[in-house]
Amino acid sequence: PHWPGLVKMSSAEAGRFFCTAGRGLEPFLAREVRARLGATEVDCVSGKVFFRAAAGPGELRKLRSGERLFLLLKKHSPLPVSGNKGKMLHEIKSLVIEEPKYWLDIISVWRKLRGHEGKTDDVSQENTLALKRKSEEETNIASKRQKTEQVRAIVSEECQVEAGERCVAPERMSGQECWIENKTSSEFPSKGSGENPSANEKLSFSFRVSCRCSGAIAKILTSQEIGRAVGIALVKQCGWRADLRDPDLEIFVHLNDIHSVVGIPLFRLPLANREYIKTAGLRSTVAWAMASLAEISAGALVLDPMCGLGTILLEAAKEWPEACYWGADISDSQLEGADGNIRTAGLMDKIELLKASVKALPLPSESFDSVISDIPFGKKFKITNDAQLLPDILQEMERVLRVGGTIVLLLSQDLRKRMDSLTKCAGSGSPEATADGDSEAAAAKALSVDGNSSSLVLGVGESFLSSRHFGSLVPDGVYAVSLGKTDAFIHKYRKVCAAGN
């Protein structure tokens, strides 16, 4: 896809980062860091993408398919697991604690990147959040020392980042933990040691350790035990002060069967929290990923015929502002929400809304370059009981799409099956065995590699293709993504000839 504002910088000044991603979005994020940041050494694992990039906070903040971004301190193979807790804790402490010079360098990079954050546009969003926390902070403030920077990382937010994993932060430890003692090491002078006041001021950090632990190591040690051990070691080594509620610095330790990772979050809020979205609908990262598949170019006309609150349109219009967008929905309240979102985002001149049913769109045939839609499913939208709706939806989408255009749909597992059975009933006679197993395998492949879309064409699409209703639509990729509690599938099609041929 075309990436506006593509940045390339010298690899000599590049820093190492990792960004968490929702399940299935890792390949999108890997592609995005390469295209947007000119990243190198891109390594995609389940739930994370590691990379090297010479990018400032402004560029990093623009990442659209990631959740939380970290400066990478350490990436190591999984730690050996034994029954000896003491030995294991020692190994973990050695992993995190390096000589002071190493930490000085890392903190200096972190401070440089953080120093710019106040100028970025996430400030207003953080202010909103700060208001919610105001009363909590007021009770706290008397005991606070003066800080060189104000960092408020919220652990509960971080917990949402990776589905299926539990984040246990020191904040949740019972009582005041023993590692809240303030020792000063000679190598790492703390404030007031009298050597170099400005340097000392800079090093007088408060910190907390957020630890996530899964797999074999979690059977031996709890996240609390690891967090506490690392915390004590950092107090001793660096002379920092532990502050579980409002630390300057958060140190993130993630240990599992794939790797051992230590990092520092760069932004207070997840990247996925968009300051321009007033009322959230579909996950913004998934909406952006869908739009990124639609091949939107300057001057293109893009339609979401079931737009709801308009998340897909917002994500697309922010990223590809040279195109024109149309959203339709049958519900007045959804259209009102979409209108509010479009106004908040300042995209009134880019996105048009109309009230219409996807089954009978008042739009000319072959007029759109792309159709992108989050087809309703589940209890919230009860229309899927009407199996007839699925071919009706597709028929209209196919009609309004120009030849060569793309359709990108978000479907539930159930909806995929219904689609398959519908296309079979329609008399395709295709023996492709719907290949749910095959599609799962290929979808799983999509999770583990930085695949490109054309290599991910799956069997399930073939059953679709062979239907007599939708012969003009060629499948062009299936991507399994997580919506938190449920899994979903992004299906992409290209219209290769006029409908009915």
Interacting residue ranges for ligand SAM, rule: CB under 6 A: 281-282, 306, 308-309, 311-312, 328-331, 334, 357-359, 374, 376, 381, 383
Q: Which is nearer to ligand SAM, 126 or 329 (CB)?
A: 329
Q: How far is the CB of 187 from ligand SAM (least distance, A)?
A: 52
* Interatomic CA distance for residues 29 and 23, integer angstroms: 11
Q: How far is the CB of 376 from ligand SAM (least distance, A)?
A: 4
Residue in the shown chain whose Cβ atom is closest to ligand SAM: 281
Alpha carbon of residue 84 to chain centroid:
37
* Interatomic CA distance for residues 133 and 144, integer angstroms: 15
Q: Which is nearer to ligand SAM, 392 or 450 (CB)?
A: 392
Q: Which is nearer to ligand SAM, 184 or 334 (CB)?
A: 334
Q: CA 171, 174, 176, 179: dihedral to nearest 10 degrees? A: -70
Q: How far is the CB of 387 from ligand SAM (least distance, A)?
A: 14
Q: How far is the CB of 363 from ligand SAM (least distance, A)?
A: 12
Q: Which is nearer to ligand SAM, 16 or 492 (CB)?
A: 492
SS3 258: coil
Q: Which is nearer to ligand SAM, 96 or 415 (CB)?
A: 415
Q: 104 Cβ partners below 8 Å, 6+ apart?
A: 203
Q: Across the strands, what pairs with 355? A: 329
Cβ atoms 478, 458 nearer than 8 A: yes
Q: How far is the CB of 268 from ligand SAM (least distance, A)?
A: 25
What is the number of helices (H) and of strands (E) in the chain? 17, 16
Total residues found in the chain within this entry: 501
Q: How far is the CB of 395 from ligand SAM (least distance, A)?
A: 13
Q: How far is the CB of 490 from ligand SAM (least distance, A)?
A: 12
Q: Which is nearer to ligand SAM, 67 or 374 (CB)?
A: 374
SS3 228: helix
Q: Which is nearer to ligand SAM, 376 or 459 (CB)?
A: 376
SS3 118: helix
Q: Cα dist. 351→222, 275, 311, 328, 336 in Å?
A: 50, 18, 11, 11, 13
